[in-house]
Amino acid sequence: MVRAAGGFFAVRDAEGREYLCRARGRLKQREGAILVGDRVLFRPGGGAGAGVIEELLPRRNVLVRPPVANVEQLVLVIALREPEPDWNLANRILVLAGHEKLDVLCCLNKIDLVDEGEREAIYRTLEPFPYELLWTSAKIGAGIEPLRERLQGRTSVFAGPSGVGKSSLLNALQPGLSLKTGEVSGKIGRGRHTTRHAELLPLDPAGFVVDTPGFSRLSFAGLAPEELGALFPEFAGHAARCPFRNCSHIHEPGCAVRKAVSRGEINALRYEHYRLFWEELTAKER
């Protein structure tokens, strides 16, 4: 399924033909029962280019936000300015991407809006960063070639706040997409939610990408606090040396993860967000 709108689902077959489908029975009832990226069995009929979805095939993974199924890779887009980076949200997205076992690429976009000094200052607050980083600008075309390479032949989803340049980056790497983009509001410095619905787009010459609407809040529904540590990949090597089994890395004496934070081997802001998320998850349990 490539796009949902007004009770219909656009479905693309193996030859690239699109059918506007209704869903059958149970599938129709539940809101969000069929997501962009879902593989479905459908029957053409009811006019040219129309059809009926009969069955949803098993999913390899699913993200609630952005709502998408069966992707291999998540491209997290963060703007260095306009809007200001929200690292808490960024780390939330990274945790949930890890939970769904997605490969991750992080695009720091709008590098044309900061000078070299500011860029270095931002890098210092992030390093050591445990995911692949790409510095991009949709405006001046920076980082577009490596981004295109990373998307080739795979199915990816773009995620991040409104206004960071998700649709603009996709237009830069494949102008034929002609996705709508929108000004960031000057007064509040936020995006205007230009992309309204997730859409699966074919890439040249191979691969797919899902452009999605921006969002600014993300909750951890369905995540247990014990799972969190493993979703910070940079903890792994250290956690093995924690003196307590099942160490929460919060209060245990001699915790090797906290030692690594104080030595600067784990990024302090990432650890701070780990602690916040852990508190949020344990408060939910109580």
Ligand X SMILES: Nc1nc2c(ncn2[C@@H]2O[C@H](COP(=O)(O)OP(=O)(O)OP(=O)(O)O)[C@@H](O)[C@H]2O)c(=O)[nH]1
Q: Classify each residue of 109-146 as buried b or exposed e, where b means 16 or more C-beta atoms within 10 Å of its C-beta.
A: bbbeebeeeeeeebeeebeeebbebbbbbbeeebbbee
- Residues in contact with Zn ion, counted by CB under 5 A, come to a total of 5
Question: Is 12 or 139 the residue whose CB approaches ligand X more closely?
Answer: 139
The reply to whether 35 sits near Zn ion by the rule CB under 5 A is no
Task: Classify 224 as helix, strand or coil.
Answer: coil
The reply to whether 168 sits near Mg ion by the rule CB under 5 A is no
**Amino acid letter, 121:** A
Question: Is 70 or 136 the residue whose CB approaches ligand X more closely?
Answer: 136
Distance CA 1, CA 9 (A): 7
The reply to whether 171 sits near Mg ion by the rule CB under 5 A is no
Angle between the 144-151 and 166-173 helix axes, to the nearest 10 degrees? 90
Question: Is 139 or 275 the residue whose CB approaches ligand X more closely?
Answer: 139
Question: Is 113 or 236 the residue whose CB approaches ligand X more closely?
Answer: 113
Distance CA 3, CA 68 (A): 10
Nearest distance, CB of residue 116 and ligand X, angstroms: 16
Binding pattern to Zn ion, positions 230-269, x when CB under 5 A?
------------x----x-x-----x-x------------
Interacting residue ranges for ligand X, rule: CB under 6 A: 109-110, 112-113, 137-139, 162-168, 181-184, 191, 193-195, 213-214
Task: Classify 31 as helix, strand or coil.
Answer: coil
Partner from ligand X, Mg ion, Zn ion, none contacting 242, C-beta within 5 to 8 A by type: Zn ion
Q: Is the peptide bond before 161 cis (omega within 30 degrees of 0)?
A: no
